[in-house]
Amino acid sequence: MIPTAHEIRGTTHGTAPTPLSVLDLVTVGAGRTATDALRTSVALAKLTESRRFHRYWVAEHHSMPGVASSSPAVILAHLAAHTTRIRLGSGGVMLPNHAPLVIAEQFGTLEAMAPGRVDLGLGRAPGTDGATAAALRRTDRLNEGADDFPEQLAELIRFLDDDFPDGHRYRRIHAVPGPIQATSPGGVQSPHRPPVWLLGSSGFSARLAGALGLPFAFAHHFSAQNTVPALDLYRESFRPSAVLDEPYALIGVSALATEDPREARRQVMAAALNMIRLRTGRPGLVPTPEEAETYEFSPMEREFMDSWNANVIHGTPDEVRTGLDDLHKRTGADELMITGNAHSGDVRLRSYELIADAYGLPAA
């Protein structure tokens, strides 16, 4: 069964001007473990579900000690066991890293575990460096995977729908769990399949999502300068489909709320230092705010930090709400997906709670 537009769009709760969702990078702070980070993810999923956030996505990354989300499907299965309502999904699975059949099987299994609340967000970047991407794909021809993205996407959707045409080499191959299991003498309807989203940080996926009539998620949190042009391109390219009759776009945004705005500044400075190390080939665990305060930033690093933090909405709950509302007005996004990066899991949990309070979302 094709996903409904209502499931994609969701429902606004409280006084939020648009649905609020969560992007979890499963960050690991210095002195903590991946086990700690995953426990925080469970607590965060349960908290944000109780506060009526709309969806909860995890992102595929590899070879990054401070990001424990290399296997989104595994994490989502764990979160499905601890939640009942919130939509769960990938933000995203990097399609060129995987055979389409494998993804169809994984997300068909997730759909069977949590019927009607699984999203499949897909990206065309590797989610890592070139050497790691080559190890994942068993090939050094990395550009080929990105260039073949539309064909890989079409194949994946065929597997999800189990509708390869007669004569196709995959006609007799079925992604299980999937629609084939619904075929019975009793005429049981085909099961629901996860909505497919395209993710991007430039214009390629925006144009493709529009042409296919799919929902689109843009990575504003690390490509803010491209947000408005990409959303404009998506809307201009949009063609109605069986999934959507009009465009639907969410944007990922970095936001962190604390009672004391000085503490928010300390936390985002540590997250920026972590990004500096990642961008310069020195990935590690997310440093503590104390380490960031004593770190001697070079002029170039300080310039990067200031530029990076200019796109992180942080401060008191009211300040964060104002920043999110302004961003919503400026971009016209249909949904805001908040990623709150900090060294401490407790700080992250408290941030989402404060943002929920600022928007008057239902109390836990």
Query: Do residues 308 and 272 lie in contact, with contact meaning Cβ atoms separated by under 8 Å?
Result: yes
Q: Please give the pLDDT value at position 192.
A: 76
Averaged pLDDT for residues 50-59: 97
Q: What is the pLDDT of residues 35-50, one digit of tens each?
A: 999 999 999 999 999 9
Q: Please give the pLDDT value at position 125.
A: 80
% the chain with pLDDT above 90: 83
Q: Which residue has the higher pLDDT, 142 or 23?
A: 23
CA 77 from centre of chain: 16
Reported as a pLDDT band with limits 50, 70 and 90, residue 139 is low
Q: Computed from CA positions of residues 225, 229, 235, 238, in that sequence, does the dihedral angle turn out positive or negative?
A: negative
The CA radius of gyration of the chain, in Å to the nearest whole number, is: 20
Q: In 3-state terms, what secondary structure has residue 89?
A: strand
Cis check: omega of the bond before 287, within 30 degrees of 0: no
Averaged pLDDT for residues 260-270: 96
Q: Which residue has the higher pLDDT, 185 or 88?
A: 88
Q: Please give the pLDDT value at position 131.
A: 75
Query: Do residues 127 and 219 lie in contact, with contact meaning Cβ atoms separated by under 8 Å?
Result: no
The answer to whether residue 262 scores a pLDDT higher than 90 is yes
pTM above 0.75, yes or no: yes
Q: Please give the pLDDT value at position 180.
A: 56
Query: Do residues 127 and 96 lie in contact, with contact meaning Cβ atoms separated by under 8 Å?
Result: no
CA 176 from centre of chain: 25
| Furthest C-alpha separation in the chain | 71
Percent of the chain as helix, strand, coil, to the nearest 5: 45, 15, 40
CA 299 from centre of chain: 32
* Cα–Cα dist 151/178, whole Å: 21
Q: Is 221 exposed, middle or buried (0-12, 13-18, 19+ CB in 10 A)?
A: buried
* Cα–Cα dist 152/313, whole Å: 36
Q: Please give the pLDDT value at position 134.
A: 77
- 29: which DSSP letter? B
Q: Computed from CA positions of residues 125, 34, 114, 252, in that sequence, does the dihedral angle turn out positive or negative?
A: negative
Average pLDDT value over all residues in the chain = 91
The answer to whether residue 181 scores a pLDDT higher than 70 is no
Cis check: omega of the bond before 31, within 30 degrees of 0: no
